[in-house]
Amino acid sequence: MRIARIETLRADAGWRLFSFLKVTTEDGLVGWSEYNESFGSTGLSAVIEGLAPLVIGRDPTRFEEVTAFLHVMTRQARGGLNQQAIAAIENALLDIAAKARGIPVCALFGGPVRERIPVYWSHFGTYRVRNAAHMGVPPLLDHDGVARHAAEVKALGFRGLKTNILLSGPDGRLYQHAPGFGRHAGWPELNWDSRTLAGLRRHLATIREAVGPEMGVHLDVNFHFRTEGFLRVAEAVAPYDLTWLEIDTHDPAALASIRRRAPCPIASCETLHGRREFRPFLEQYAMDVAIVDVIWNGLAESLKIAAMCDVYEVNCAPHNFYGNLCSLISAHFCAAIPNFRVMEIDMDSVSWRDEFTPPPVIENGELVLPTGPGWGVEVNEAAIRARPPKH
């Protein structure tokens, strides 16, 4: 079996793109992966296309050999877009390798350990504040709306949700505090202030009151502060019994100092590439939960990261805020590892997301792992092509 063609496809997803990789063998077997280039990865499709000639003619079932060769050929610029491109190729090859054997992808790695995967509703409130028009739902305007929405999520059977810092603006409407992504004033300084902390406490108090004491509440503060500010946030959230406080930083020693003083568990590492980048965070005992982006790292590498985390008694959760195929790729990761914590999933999206790939089956707050070969779902190529990017 040899790889004959590699093709990238991109589709409109409202405020972002959903991008897909199609790998076809000489005998017509097709493997799919989904990747993301809308959030700091501009040009990723071009990188994949640039690496494609190195893969044509190779055996897709020997995915370790193929990815090792791609790493050798990009050694002088490892990580970043090269790693994300290799991951997209790797994940598509895994789909082919499993389909060729008539088994689910996780079975290639001895899984599944579990077939029902607890999930939490990610970006709770955030997309409805920022992108309601794209989703065709009413915008989330105020804290009363947050309370109603939180109660709805609980009623749907979810046992956890993750939110961001949502504050009331001068006009009284909610907005997301996100200076770390340059969405408003506050960068590059990334300073904290008492008003922001007071608004954050109000937001979390609203959620906790609406869902009660037993539901998991996660808070993701991304790159929006520096170490000083993250510490103040950790102090501010103490009364709300967070499942975890999620922090992005590239300084393992700084994160370790936060973890030692924080009154809640710390999750981190979603932006890291490969075991080498995870190692100093583990050696510093910098986080309680390691967040692994399976789409950026590739499933095979993600499983190696999880195995390394297991040595340090750290459980893993996937970074998963993409489309349906990404969710199923991440689900195979969750199914295969012993040291699993909980799975992130975006329930809010554009209404046509389910045209591209069928949505995961979620029952009582758990994703039911597909049992079909490969990723266990069929990709609707015609639907993807029917919604080209608008810009």
pLDDT digits (tens, 9 = 90+) for 320-373: 999 999 999 999 999 999 999 999 999 999 999 999 999 999 999 999 999 999
The confidence score (pLDDT) of residue 282 equals 98
Residues 118 and 230 grouped into a single domain: yes
pLDDT above 80: residue 391:
no
Cis peptide before 360 (omega within 30 of 0): no
Alpha-carbon torsion (325, 331, 337, 339), positive or negative:
positive
Question: How large is the average pLDDT for residues 36-47?
Answer: 93
Average pLDDT of the residues in 154-170:
97
What sign does the dihedral 88-292-159-332 (CA atoms) show? Answer: positive
- At residue 307, the pLDDT reads 98
- The predicted model gives 243-267 an average pLDDT of 98
Residue 390: pLDDT band (50, 70, 90) is confident
Domain presence at residue 288 = yes
CATH number at residue 346: 3.20.20.120
Q: What is the pLDDT of residue 40?
A: 86
Asked if 40 and 66 sit in the same domain, the reply is: yes
Cα–Cα distances (Å) from 254 to 34, 89, 142, 196, 312, in that order, read: 33, 34, 34, 22, 19
Query: What's the pLDDT at 39?
Result: 86
Does residue 391 lie within any of the structural domains?
Answer: no
Partnered with residue 217 across adjacent β-strands are 161
- Strands (E) in 225-264, as ranges, are 244-246
Q: In the prediction, which pLDDT does 93 show?
A: 98
Asked if residue 171 and residue 304 are part of one domain, the reply reads yes
Q: Do 127 and 87 belong to one domain?
A: no
Mean pLDDT on 88-111: 97
How confident is the model at residue 258, as a pLDDT? 98
248 has pLDDT over 90: yes
Mean pLDDT, residues 245-261 taken together? 98
Question: Do residue 335 and residue 217 come from a single domain?
Answer: yes
Q: Given the DSSP bridges, would you call strands 17-25 and 30-35 parallel, antiparallel or unpaired?
A: antiparallel
Q: Are residues 214 and 346 in the same domain?
A: yes
In a domain, 64, yes or no: yes
Specify the 3-state DSSP secondary structure of 291: strand
320 and 250 part of one domain: yes
The tokens describing 285, both together, are: 């005992």
Q: Is there a contact between 258 and 231 (Cβ–Cβ < 8 Å)?
A: yes
Whether 132 and 43 map to the same domain: the answer is: no
172-210, pLDDT tens digit by residue? 999 999 999 999 899 999 999 999 999 999 999 999 999
Domain that holds residue 319: 108-368
For the chain, give the percent of residues with pLDDT over 70: 100
- The yes-or-no verdict on residue 141 having pLDDT over 80 is yes
Average pLDDT over residues 159-165: 98
> Could you tell me the pTM of the whole model?
0.96
Length of the chain in terms of residues written:
391
The predicted structure's pLDDT at residue 231: 98
Note the Cα 374 to chain centre separation in Å: 20
Are 18 and 115 in the same domain? no
In a domain, 373, yes or no: no
pLDDT band at 111 (very low <50, low <70, confident <90, very high): confident
73 and 114 inside one domain: no
Same domain, 158 and 197: yes
What number is the average pLDDT over the span 78-102?
Answer: 97
Per-residue pLDDT tens digits for 8-32: 999 999 999 999 999 999 999 999 9
Mean pLDDT of the residues in the chain: 97
Look up the CATH number of the domain holding residue 9.
Answer: 3.30.390.10
Q: Does 298 map to a domain? A: yes
Q: Tens of pLDDT along 268-323?
A: 999 999 999 999 999 999 999 999 999 999 999 999 999 999 999 999 999 999 99
- Give residue 48's pLDDT band: very low, low, confident or very high (50, 70, 90): very high
